[in-house]
A and B are shown apart, each in its own frame.
Chain A
């Protein structure tokens, strides 16, 4: 599904290398987790993969289903199946949540040469999906993320994921700012989307989210590299002992 090789990334504006050779392969249908301390490059990885400005790839490659995504515009990556659930979902005053979702879905369909979904079909679909995430009609009508609580924003990210049905989902610290109940709701939403044709990359500081979204593989990232890869037990190890033992000796 997602294949990252020797990825080196620096900030565009300053001479600061963030990713220093990331190698990562996420197979179809699998859930991979990336854990790591602050500043290890986890969020940068998610932004580079989804196409945010401000980063320069200096070496390496990233492909989604065999296609080089690093040269694509963000909207082309989305149409190809990439999805980033934002750590801080953006508030957009004046753009209705429904309008936004329908515009996004139909733009993706159009880019893939598929027919646009009618307003009626869309309404029916969104109502069903919103209901399972406990998103009420009012939240759908409001401007994107405006006046949403932290939990509502994260649920709205998962709703977008459910509507757009991407192939590769990256969750950037989706657990941050969530209480236990909200985290459970978000995790249920994600688990409902687990499928043989869909992969997940779950970025988190803490093991607790991984109690609910159980990963197949756990990676530890430190100082711009993956320093250790293992099974779900690796997350428990971090929870008990912290990151110190995994850190790059250069910085530790």
Chain B
């Protein structure tokens, strides 16, 4: 399909400024392919169906809008957890702050390092899951990422990873514009937990392609945030084999613009995928969760739980789809998106979709927008809980269903601690 002239011009003008990174010879073909895809689909425009609620320009226009570095003294999240820590500062790998990329049951390399050879296990995946995820909905900023990512991690899980792998994205430069691409391959029966934290850069474009083989398991927990002016567009492409398990949870606090896309594809029977998100925003905050789950196997379970707390004009967006293909009988699909608006200035825009071609499935979706329950507020206050604290309790209660998706209690506690701190800062 031919692109409108204006869109073609804009895309060509932007791509004229792109130079493909050197190195990772094995990835060169994928990078060129991504550029071609992007040229064909065009950069996103607000008239595009999946960009109606979120203006995309500042996510790719050059230069990236600057973002101040948040200065509150707060220990980094997950500090108390025994993990392998890998640090990127403004998108640049920092060997000084990182642990050795070495752990039993896992092989970790950097995209920028794995350069010399044309043969690499990641060649089959890099850009491959992204390409699969471009149909039926184009995701141009993911293609831009595949073409231009300067670094990232290639993580191959071959056994039971004894500790979580923590990718820590630090933001130090007010004008940084980072593009990172991670590839995770969890081999048959293997398992790992990946943690991601931090604002990463003034603008961050990140793709994570995840291949979970038969009987394998991946837990993914990330926190994004802190810096009020930062922007991020992230894509998570997951392909699940038979009887595999994939769980992903994202906490977002602050950020002027965040678009998190999550694309899950079931290719093997009896697999399970849970994706969840909790976002809390105050003022100039626009947060968009766009999720697409494709059931193309027998008896898989998918669950989407997204909760947003918004105030002072903050905006939340949820676009979530469950597509059940004709042979995906016994699919169990669930989707809930809810927002709690703490004032009349904030808004939540939701577009839940179900598209089902199998006849023996159980799928449900729901979306709600509401204010704080005044009856519950009075009940708490009548027992002596001050108004602001009562509101915080109800906010945490509202988010609980999403946070409960985190299996590890220690990690869940860390996430709750983050939320508490955020609420506390607003309480003064």
Contacts and interface: CB of A to CB of B under 8 A. Distances in A.
Contacts of B389: 103, 107
Contacts of A51: 378, 381-382
A78 B384 CA distance: 5
Interface string A74-106: 110111000110100110111100011001110
A94 B385 contact: no
Interface in A138-152: 143-144
Interface of A: 50-53, 73-75, 77-79, 83-84, 86, 89-90, 92-95, 99-100, 103-105, 107-108, 111, 143-144, 160, 164
Contact of B383 (A73, A93, A143, A164): A164
Contacts of B378: 51-53, 74, 90
A111 to B, nearest CB: 7
Chain B interface size range:
20 to 34
A74 B382 contact: yes
A75 to B, nearest CB: 5
Contact of A50 (B382, B387, B393): B382
Given A75-B387, A103-B389, A94 B397 contact: yes
A100 B401 contact: no
A71 to B, nearest CB: 15
Q: Which 7 A-B pairs have the closest CB atoms?
A: A94-B397, A78-B384, A108-B384, A104-B383, A94-B400, A74-B381, A90-B379
A75 B384 contact: yes
A79 B383 contact: no
A93 B375 CA distance: 13
A50 B381 CA distance: 10
Contacts of B397: 92-95, 143
B398 A73 contact: no
B401 A104 contact: no
A75 B391 CA distance: 13
A215 to B, nearest CB: 23
A100 B383 contact: yes
Contacts of A143: 397
B342 to A, nearest CB: 16
Nearest to B404: A94
B396 interface: yes
B382 A94 contact: no
Interface of B: 373-376, 378-387, 389-390, 393-394, 396-401
Given A74-B378, A90-B376, A92-B376, A104 B394 contact: no
Nearest to A74: B381
Nearest to A95: B397
Given A53-B374, A73-B387, A90-B375, A95 B393 contact: yes
B380 A100 contact: yes
Contacts of A79: 384
A50 B378 CA distance: 9
Nearest to B374: A53
| Residue in A50, A52, A111, A160 with the greatest tally of chain B CB atoms within 10 Å | A52
B379 A107 contact: no
13 contacts: A53-B378, A90-B376, A94-B394, A94-B399, A94-B401, A103-B389, A104-B380, A104-B385, A111-B384, A111-B386, A143-B397, A160-B383, A164-B383
